[in-house]
Structure 1
Amino acid sequence: MATILFSAVGAAVGSAFGGSILGLSMTAVGRFIGASFGRALDQRLMGQGSETIETGKVERFRLSASGEGAAIAQVYGRMRIGGHVIWSTEFTERVRTKKAGGGGKGTPSGPTVKSYSYSLSLAVALCEGEISGVNRVWADGAEVPVSDLNMRVYTGSMDQLPDPQMEAIEGVGMVPAYRGTAYVVFEDLALEPFGNRVPQFSFEVTRPVQDDPEDVPHAISGVAMIPGTGEYSLATEPVYLKYGQGSSGVVNVNTPSEQPDFNTSLKQLTDEMPGCRAVSLVVSWFGDDLRCGSCTIRPKIEQNEFEAKNGMAWRVSDLTRDEALLVPRQDNRPVYGGTPSDASVVMAIRRMAEQGMEVLYYPFILMDQMAGNGRPNPWTGEADQPALPWRGRITLDVAPGRDGSSDGSGAAAAEVAAFIGTASAADFTVGDGTVSYSGPDEWSYRRFILHQAALCAAAGGVEAFCVGSEMQALTQIRSDAGFPAVDALRALAAECRALLGPDVKLSYAADWSEYFGY
């Protein structure tokens, strides 16, 4: 308002003087001077009352520390426990200042906002050592990702050293190592997410029995890595699916660790079973018929709507997502995860080899026919094969022992040959982490096994390889000259040797019932 008034007064005074300055009339000069004075007066009058606003400021901190003689927990197995603060720094205050601008046209300027945040470092004693690790952390009852906390874990070993940050603050030689006590150190813990206060922490720790070197965690030397399915379950990097319109979602990070699920599983394995040095890595393709002459074995996918970003598009044996078949669904959900992508399999092998694991590669067949499949049952003659049967039931069109079976004849050998296929090691080209195929257009047993062998060669670091597992009924099929499936497996092993080299062990993982003999 003062701007308008003084602008008019200035124009009147300038007009009374008359003349011009630098080509401008005294009326215009007077209006400008009056408006400037009025604007300054407006801002002074209308800006009164704007005060600095402070948010998050804490006048007094309270930190509960342990007193002398507080009990230290004894933990066995996996347990969630609290802790005792045994050391802390002073609180560090940080201030962010933001001045809100005015709306223009004479409106007052906004207030100044000062936002306060705090941080500190502290050490929390957990329990008697030696623990294998801290798996999860809760703050005020809500689980928080361990990776967000800048937390160092001391297991309570008898040779652990003092924390370097504690020594940097307190002085070298002035900090105990707390040997025999498991504890964690939070470095520069930001308190703003917790309302600018130190939250109540609790921890899930794992502590194996200490006095028995032959207990289960120490005695187990090898495990099987299952389920063998999941398009990106073996990936060691986060994989994001593109959902369209700029949105995406990660598919293989499903724990508060915020790490890929495979990495989290492998860490838990090494933490909880320190004696484990061998892993059987299971990777599944899918069979669709119990009649070996009609059965195909191929990789399949969980969904065909969305593809992964950043070079992680699903691809197995030159098959893309657009070309692959879906695994069956039930209640609008896939009954299995899809076949792990070739790239994720290579990642998993390399990660385990880097950690000193001996990798046994275990190709696996999952049968995916559902109820009402319309495929004749070779064992009973019924119109349908059972839902999701065992691969060990793959046999002839008419199973041995039933009337009309070709068992013991040349026709049986022909059925087995159709199942085994004709792909050879020469049909596969092995690159650095990649495999391509240029052989016959077939989804046969040989393509299934030889692709996996080529993939192991591309990854490197595989200790042993299985040319099959639990093909109980198939290996018992007889021709007029012997056991054709057994002969085919032996020939297949030689092809795998050509791909894998002389140092990789080759084997067949028989079902227990295959050992009884004839």
Structure 2
Amino acid sequence: MATLVLTTVGTALGGPLGGALGTLAGRALDNAVFGSPKHEGARLKELAVTTSSYGTAIPRHFGTVRTAGSVIWATNLVEHKEKSGGGKGKPKITTYSYTMSFAVALASRPIDGVGRIWADGNLLRGANGDLKVGGSFRIYYGSEHQAPDPLIGSDMGATCPAFRGIAYVVFEDLELADFGNRIPALTFEIFAGESSPELVPLLSDGQEIASGFELEGMTGISHESGSGLALLATIDTGYPLAIDASRGSLGVIGSAIKIATDVVDLPTPIANREGEFGQSTGSKRSRMAGARQTAMCLRYYDKDRDFQPGLQRSRGVAGNGAIETVDFPVGLTADAAHHIAQELAERSMTGRERLAYRVATIDKSIRPGSFVRPQATNTVWQVAG
């Protein structure tokens, strides 16, 4: 026997994401990933800055993002002395300036290019590739065949790594006068792949994943650390997913929000006196607590504002509804962010009813997100697990 977990059409906040061996995407893992329906998703960080800490994860980037990096090599400060004056009774003046060379790792997968660079919040490199201070700049795109940088090689000798598979940049003799004679806090505009990320390339590591799912309005996303499931959980915050892992691996990914078409009629439920529910009927219906309309505020990275954190709020609701803020750490257009905020608000009131329904076997056409009709009812339900 098997049990279907059904929900009223329209998913709860978070959607029916999940999966376990031998099951359809299940609520047990769903809860482990998302917790309660009040789950707020991954945290949106204010723009991080370049670090040089051991053990820092080097992220993967997709689309267009603004990100910090990790310093992986640096020289000592180089002092430059210049004398001026001294003619016709004027005193001689000696001025000092400092430069430094260093490399910054940006991504653990190949990138297409680096655009603008900000140093201490100010533009260091323009869109045309021009540095605003003295020095030179080189990009290594993360090829598995890239050669060692000659400057790093001259410093490290035969032990110099090529950092193959790592996209990084090298600043040579960068003038530091504008930055207090130190390496400034840097953030980089990264171009990686298509301008609009696709779901399967974000996850594929040799798995055969079928998906026609589109991340409409997303302009970029970074996978900084954690498993593919953690990345899916982040995406699911704004784009609810229906995932089939019934064959022991991630198989089919679709949208949990769709029109109720191709409804499958379920067989008569099976009663079981030893079962946990529905001993006489084979089914059990329940409703989640809470019925208050919620307005949603979505925090995201606004591509049109140099990737600064943006905020979009769903349309107002009548009564004394609560306002909930959801962090969605991806790049979005303002229109897409507003649309997602509105959908979050609408889904906060749907999918609150659950129906556990025991059957002998599960029809092969039924997957998470499918629509079904239980026996002796005209009500259409959606498969949550």
Give me the TM-score of the superposition, normalised by structure 1. Answer: 0.26
- Say which structure, 1 or 2, has more relative contact order (CA 8 Å, 6+ apart): 2
Give me the TM-score of the superposition, normalised by structure 2. Answer: 0.34
Instruction: Identify the structure with the greater strand proportion.
Output: 2
